[in-house]
Structure 1
């Protein structure tokens, strides 16, 4: 099938139970539903992670630039959940890229979270801080960063490596050079920005897609189409949007510091996970596509 022939509905598998995990190219099992911690700080971050772990979520997504590793460390320690049962993702920031610096950044993340290894490390952004988007230095520095991640992976310090916010050209560039192909690409996906070509490229290359901003930074929760579908399936708008992404083959990392919201995702996506959006409902959500971007845009980074 040509990419030009691809619609979101062809990426939806109906009639089968949704997997609780995705299997990365190296065999690592990756939880399909996790907790995002962007902008969560101090007690909010600690309590959110504690609630997520208590409720059965086993994937915590953070990044060095979020500055919340201390509270996450405390929550992991206090939860009583064995380290081997929690999948921890972090990211090398645009301020930390380059030979030597990226390794130091990953080691610093592990020290601050209090772990001996990370389950997944991503290059957070294809560009470098304080470097012009059209500068060739971006490509050089992200390549040096990737080489550092490859070495950490070969040493067993990280179980999987990947990228975040990589566009098609960034991904193709990396695939053409990497000794270890990226296992994950984390980027913005929701019904208004479905990224079919990028998702298809990831699928062809065996790269798992992790969708962020699945709720459209809360804007989509009040969209008439979303609320109508939610009423039809007797679920919340958030559950509908997350289910749409999961049925499309993405992992999701919704963020909240409210335990009741986290419980909502857990209850319906983990325990009550056998419900489905119908093809008609999926098609209605597909109709929201207009390319709208709620978060940062990497398209100008060369």
Structure 2
């Protein structure tokens, strides 16, 4: 079962192959969501300072009764934090808010502040300062692994060429209809694990007749097909849901997609509209796979 399988990061840390995303799940609701997911069998939970639900995620983790070393928790430094002292303060704040003595993986949420996302400026020095804070927290045992999110090749190179510790993860938007193959290959080639957030395209693939037909061939749902697609590419998918039945079905992906069908999925028509999420920077046209 996929919930029992792990990838191994460059530093030897094991990370469950499927995670639960918590974006847009309110702090007052997320604790129960985490508890439900743990009962289903999830052990990997993804949050962020920007989600404003770290406290609830931590509450949910404690309520599971599962030993801390059996749980994997990811959070992210806010995209606007491009100063060493600010990053240090925010890292400690996440530890306190989550109520944990260590965080399993912490990422820089974006190379640019969201107001400047993909507008040309790469904030190289600011990212190096934020990364130095992550390195120090890692060396101090506060963080078991460190990485980035939404980083393009040039942003990765800034860290790879100048940092003491290489990033271990790049979490990016990747799904059927928007798969940045060049960035994935580049990240994997540099030893990073690639995580795929919104593997079901924030629901935008659900009414795709072609995907529905292909999913029927495997006797699975469209979300299951899309999650399996990411796994077949060597990615770690992070489907977000607050519904127990979806948690269960999202984890029921122990099937193989044929090479021919993978080729079809790789060439799927690009997603043009993400519904209510379209106005978020990561779903904008400038961030879609070319």
TM-score by length of 1: 0.86
Q: Closer, same or farther in 2 for the Cα pair 1:292/1:201, shift >3 Å?
A: farther
Contact 1:193 1:293 in 2 (8 A): no
Residue aligning to 1:285: 265
Instruction: Give a deviation string over 1:195-254, Cα, whole Å, max 9, x none.
Output: 111111111111000001111110112211210111111111110000000011000110
Q: Closer, same or farther in 2 for the Cα pair 1:201/1:135, shift >3 Å?
A: closer
Residue aligning to 1:5: none
Q: 1:125 aligns with which of 110, 117, 125?
A: 110
Contact 2:200 2:227 in 1 (8 A): yes
User: Which region of structure 1 is more displaced relative to structure 2, 26-35 or 47-56?
Assistant: 47-56
C-alpha distance in structure 1 between counterparts of 2:187 and 2:34, whole Å: 29
Contact 1:160 1:183 in 2 (8 A): yes
**1:91 counterpart SS class:** strand
1:80 aligns with 2:65: yes
C-alpha distance in structure 1 between counterparts of 2:197 and 2:74, whole Å: 13
Residues 37-186 of structure 1: matches in 2 within 5 Å? 37-128=22-113, 133-135=119-121, 138-186=123-171
Instruction: Give a deviation string over 1:77-130, Cα, whole Å, max 9, x none.
Output: 111111111100000002333111111111101101110000000000101366
Deviation at 1:287, TM superposition (A): 2.0
C-alpha distance in structure 1 between counterparts of 2:97 and 2:83, whole Å: 21
Higher RCO structure, 1 or 2 (CA under 8 Å, sep 6+):
1
Contact 2:149 2:170 in 1 (8 A): yes
TM-score by length of 2: 0.90
Deviation at 1:134, TM superposition (A): 4.2
Q: Closer, same or farther in 2 for the Cα pair 1:43/1:258, shift >3 Å?
A: farther
> Any stretches of 5+ residues in structure 2 without a counterpart?
275-279
Contact 1:194 1:289 in 2 (8 A): no
Deviation at 1:289, TM superposition (A): 4.8
C-alpha distance in structure 1 between counterparts of 2:81 and 2:243, whole Å: 31
Residue aligning to 1:30: 15
> Any stretches of 5+ residues in structure 1 without a counterpart?
1-16
- Counting matched residue pairs gives 278
Q: 1:200 aligns with which of 168, 185, 192?
A: 185
C-alpha distance in structure 2 between counterparts of 1:18 and 1:50, whole Å: 15
Supply the RMSD in Å over aligned alpha carbons.
2.1
